[in-house]
Amino acid sequence: MTLASFLSQLLEIVVALALAPLLTGWVSQWRAWLQNKSAPSLLQPYRLLHKLFNKESVLAEHASPLFRGAPYIVFGCMTLACAIVPTLSTDLPLSPAADAIALVGLFALARVFISLAAMDIGTAFGTLGARREMLIGFLAEPALLIVLFSASLISKSTSLTTIVDTLGHRELMVYPGLALAAVAFTMVALAENARVPVDNPATHLELTMIHEALILEYSGRHLALIEWAASLKLFAYACIGLALFFPWGVAEAGEPLVMLLALPALVAKLAVGGAGLAVLETLSAKMRIFRVPEYLATAFLLAVIGMLVHILLAA
């Protein structure tokens, strides 16, 4: 491990931690603009984190250590996920630690712990949220895996850095299979990040909520960590999408100077992607919870068709 690769890894983690709340703020700002509301400040998520970190954390009497540990585990999972997705450079010392399949596993680990913590307290809302979260999770994961597999088929590797290297640094090619995978990935990303067709991130007390129901019992620094982790998850998903479908502008090994260009490129791509996410959310209406399996089945089948199209056209 050279100093340059260590530095690029460090920079990537720092950028993820710093930019993730900004991305969340950017999306909610666009959402407000599109809905003709006066938009909250771009720095609102930072203020929220600051406020929550300064507040006292209240725990339920019967809370087990699991409840207290879950926010740290979730936060750790999301940070690691952001660290192994190549956003600025493909020269990442941590990337051999986890490939695309392990990345999905990381998300699953975080999901399991947050659901267990929600059930740990024994409130009705927590259990309800946990069940819904697991329902969505177990349907979204296979779709996400298939999307990652279609990218892996092209680059013949499940390592994310190799995928980005192959896709980003070769002559311009159009992959019809990847186009289908991109649609499937967008659908999965909306479901996984508790976005509008599946869940509404703006709601705090509604019978239909999923993500908010899970974290109702958290407060103070625990809640801050969870909110930050949610931002990191959105950031990680955005970065996976960019890495798979728009991998240009990512620096290779031994090109420390390109990283200077990679950061503005990343910010520009995220800005466009965040605005697009807000447009998608504004255009669609929240669906009934029992329609969600159908929605995610569509995503899964689209991903499978993308893979089949790739196999057909490559033959």
- Where do contacts with another protein occur on this chain (CB under 8 A)? 172-177, 179-180, 183, 293-294, 297-298, 301-302, 304-306, 308-309, 311-313, 315
Q: Which residues contact 79 (CB under 8 A, 6 or more apart)?
A: 13, 16, 17, 232
Q: For another protein, which is the closer residue by CB, 205 or 315?
A: 315
Closest CA to 117 of 202, 195, 17, 226: 226
The length of the chain is 315
Phi and psi, residue 125, nearest 5°: -65, -40
| CB 184, min distance to another protein, A | 10
Q: For another protein, which is the closer residue by CB, 60 or 313?
A: 313
| CB 314, min distance to another protein, A | 8
Instruction: Give 251's strand partners.
Output: 89
Q: For another protein, which is the closer residue by CB, 19 or 304?
A: 304
| CB 292, min distance to another protein, A | 12
89 SS3 class = strand
| CB 187, min distance to another protein, A | 11
On whether the CB atoms of residues 264 and 107 are closer than 8 A, the answer is: no
Helix 44-54 and helix 3-34: axis angle, to 10°? 110
> Which residue type, as a one-letter code, is found at position 123?
T
| CB 93, min distance to another protein, A | 35
| CB 298, min distance to another protein, A | 5
Q: For another protein, which is the closer residue by CB, 137 or 306?
A: 306
What is each CA distance from 1 to 93, 250, 270, in whole angstroms?
7, 19, 29
Q: For another protein, which is the closer residue by CB, 14 or 297?
A: 297
Q: For another protein, which is the closer residue by CB, 74 or 299?
A: 299
Tokens 């190549």, residue located = 86
